[in-house]
Amino acid sequence: QFTPDLMPSDITGTNVLEEEDSGRRSFRFVQGPVFTNILLADEINRTPPKTQAALLQSMQEREVTVGQTTYDLPDP
């Protein structure tokens, strides 16, 4: 169920900072729910416009933009 506090990164995914044993840091992308084969979304109208836009982009263009990187969604 979509709620008013849902952020675009909650459905698209986000970059996570990881630190290796050597102390080296790097970002790794963690996929969100839109990368699944089936996504059931209820009460979409409750979310902020940016979150709706992120969901609509994934539905229409079959891709997700996080930061400055665009990821293609897999075929079901």
Q: What is the pLDDT of residues 20-67, one digit of tens each?
A: 999 999 999 999 999 999 999 999 999 999 999 999 999 999 999 998
> Into how many domains does the chain fold?
1
Answer whether residue 26 is part of any domain.
Answer: yes
Answer whether residue 41 is part of any domain.
Answer: yes
pLDDT of residue 76: 79
Answer whether residue 27 is part of any domain.
Answer: yes
Answer whether residue 44 is part of any domain.
Answer: yes
Answer whether residue 48 is part of any domain.
Answer: yes
Q: Where in the sequence is the domain holding 20, given as residue range(s)? A: 8-71
pLDDT of residue 75: 86
Answer whether residue 3 is part of any domain.
Answer: no
pLDDT of residue 67: 86
Answer whether residue 1 is part of any domain.
Answer: no
Helix (H) and strand (E) counts for the chain? 2, 4
- Strand, helix or coil for residue 62: coil
Answer whether residue 2 is part of any domain.
Answer: no
Count CB neighbours of 30 within 10 A.
Answer: 13
Those residues with Cβ within 8 angstroms of residue 52's Cβ, 6 or more apart along the chain or in another chain: 44, 45
